[in-house]
Amino acid sequence: MKGLPFQLEIIEADTNWIVSCASEYGEALIRVPAPYSENELQSALSRVEISLAKSYSPVVVRGAPVSERPVREFGERLTEAIFRDDIFVLFDRWRSSAARTQENPLRILLRTNGPHVAHIPWEFLVDPSRDDYLALRVPVVRYLRLMDPVPPLPLTLPLRVLGISAQPHDLPVLEGAREVQQVSQALQRCSSESVDVHWLPGDKWQDLAKELRFGSWHVLHCVSHGGFDEERNAGYIQLSGADGSARKIYASDFERLIADSPNLRLIVLNSCESAVSGSEDVFAGTAANLVRAGVPAVVAMQYEITDKAALVFASSFYERIAEGMPVDRAVTLAREDVKMDLDSLEWATPVLFLASDETRIFSVPKTPQGPQRPPPQTPTVRPPPPPEPPPPARPPLLSQSFLLADIGPCSHLALGPANLLAAACRDGAVRVLNAVDGGVVRQCMPVQRENPVQVAWGPWRRNVASRHNDGTVVVWDLRTETPARVMNVGEEGGALAFSADGHWLAVTVKDRVYVYNAWGARVRDLPARSGKEPKVWQRMGGRGSLGPLAFAPGDRHVVVATGDGMVRQLDVRGKPVATWRHPQPVRCLAVTAKALATGCADGRVRLWSWDGRLLRQTEHGRQPSHLVFATDFPALAMSDDDGTVTLCDLKTGELTVVAELMHQLAGLAFLEGGKGLVTGTRAGRIARWSLPRRPQ
């Protein structure tokens, strides 16, 4: 980002400091006595840390501002030592010029060299021109000045944010779930079209390594405990080990992942140090090493930070990032929010490290502007204005042909071969209708079984399967209207799917997918979830039954929504071979040979390629309930819980057809041969809709 940086470097030299600065208005170098001896500095830093802790203590103390006095005195003493003589003159010119133009943003790029100056919280510097802390007015950045920094990433939206919330069982519990929710909401409020947030369901090193190497992530947000290892002279964060206890992860461990993640541009470490002696610089080693390893920007914590302050900072910071603000300015405004919301000194705890003076870590293409108006002229003759173009026509509504049937309340409908429609009716019957004229073709009545809740078709018109509330699955022989196979699969589950070749039948039971062969024998038991899910998904109902479910093209893999915002493609051993991430649980899906469509609880329908790329997504709306692809033309039909049916053109993404029904849908299907769209409501009203002619 172009602007007015003020580069400031402090070097220890015995009992003196060598202070140099460089700006657009010149350079200066001075030698000053160190404002503190080694013992005095340690004592002053201890008083600063105590004051910081008092500032967020729940105990109310009279004259609370007095507790800030050691911090204020510390910052003023640092300012008096540094901003003096020629350096103050250049700083004043730099500040005054920026105030006059009001065009170029200001920022201070700070470098330190020495064992003591590296431990100083420079964010408490006091503005020499105003009675306020400098970092609350101007971005103060730890500037590493690498020889070959990573350039800004040309960003193809959405911005992809990967979060991990570590909760080892042997460490105090963090409010990670609240931060998951607040950060996600902050991003969605500001730029829901441009940002995709995914929180890992697990908190182990293996979970993080797999996602960073597998996905194309731009930002990593880590909520965890942290510390500083005096023996190794290195900072660390603490994830969960294989047994659930804390495991230290050092910066050197991250370097290998960063090398495999070329799109990663920002790491935010919302982590607390363990308050051991000598840990004032808890994340300096980690953050600096991450920057040197190739991450352009790292936000880390130099003191222990409370959950409340971490939440305020993270939410505010990501709001600004989602708005496209430079990272240094986003940190400064987030500091201000912590100060104003909490009235504590924790605004100085976050530290921003940059690899270079470039603060635009992403290069977002600008929206093209329309042609500029020519300068006004004085014409001799003004022609009459052209007629205004007519407003764009509203997308045509579906034209209802007629009501096919009224079969009474039902739970689910599915279209099979030869335009046969199966319905799971609440009177206990599985009825099969001709979806063209509405006539009932078959009626299967289970004996001593509870009501069917879902139906699924094989490729032949002879067999349809139904799942029942008592945990059984029945495959019906429609010629005799009797069961051909009965399987006891378990009550906890609801999804049911035939393979395209009819050889396999998959069902979900708790956290697993069972696959049965043509003779009713269970041949596969596939674990669908891997690792533990964050608490936010539990509150959203993500720990319930799996589903929806489908076979991937080729019938060798199953695709299942796992309730944690993930849709996983599992091979014959249950190993995930592809993963599609969503901000909330997926409620419905549809597959074709070329694409996968998912309907998410956030009100969006997304179209994915089989290699994991997001091809298209709708605007936020009501929660989708059913999805189905057209076979004769590139379109996708969708319905929501209010009975609205929408038809989207997959080539343009435009809305082409909308229908409003009076009840929630139990099923939705395109008829073969372009004969229209069939809808079935939970009230049992089956209707066929003719589609408008498509333009040639």
C-alpha of 575 from chain center: 23
For the stretch 557-589, pLDDT in tens is: 999 999 888 999 999 888 999 999 998 899 999
Classified as helix, coil or strand, 191 is: helix
**Cβ–Cβ < 8 Å for 83, 128:** yes
**Cβ–Cβ < 8 Å for 604, 195:** no
Would you say the C-alpha torsion 139, 144, 149, 155 has a positive or negative sign? negative
Q: 26 or 360: whose pLDDT is higher?
A: 26
Is pLDDT at 281 greater than 60 in this prediction?
no
Q: How far apart are CA 336 and CA 427, in angstroms?
A: 62
Task: Dig out the tokens for 192 from the structure.
Answer: 């829901």
Query: What is the structure's pLDDT at 624?
Result: 92
Own/partner contacts of 369-378, CB < 8 Å, gap of 24 or more, are: none
Residue 690, H or E segment: strand 685-690
For the stretch 227-267, pLDDT in tens is: 777 777 777 888 998 888 999 888 778 777 777 787 888 99
Radius of gyration of the chain (CA): 31
Is pLDDT at 279 greater than 60 in this prediction?
no
Q: How far apart are CA 474 and CA 486, in angstroms?
A: 5
| Alpha-helical regions (H) of 293-389 | 307-322, 327-342
- Burial of 636 per CB tally in 10 Å (0-12, 13-18, 19+): buried
Q: How far apart are CA 248 and CA 294, in angstroms?
A: 21
Task: Dig out the tokens for 289 from the structure.
Answer: 């090493």
Judge if the upstream peptide bond of residue 409 is cis by omega within 30 degrees of 0: no
Is pLDDT at 429 greater than 60 in this prediction?
yes
477: left (phi over 0), alpha (psi -120 to 50) or beta: beta
Query: What is the structure's pLDDT at 176?
Result: 63
Is pLDDT at 664 greater than 70 in this prediction?
yes
Query: How many angstroms separate the Cα of 76 from the Cα of each of 18, 443, 483?
Result: 18, 86, 85
pTM > 0.85:
no
Q: 402 or 134: whose pLDDT is higher?
A: 134
User: What are the φ and ψ backbone dihedral angles of 578, each rounded to 5 degrees?
Assistant: -160, 150
Mean pLDDT over residues 170-195, rounded?
A: 64
Task: Dig out the tokens for 595 from the structure.
Answer: 């694409």
Q: How far apart are CA 11 and CA 82, in angstroms?
A: 11
Query: What is the structure's pLDDT at 64?
Result: 45
Average per-residue pLDDT for the chain: 80
For the stretch 612-656, pLDDT in tens is: 888 888 887 888 999 999 887 788 999 988 788 888 888 877 776
C-alpha of 153 from chain center: 19
Most confident of 8-12, 97-101, 141-145: 8-12
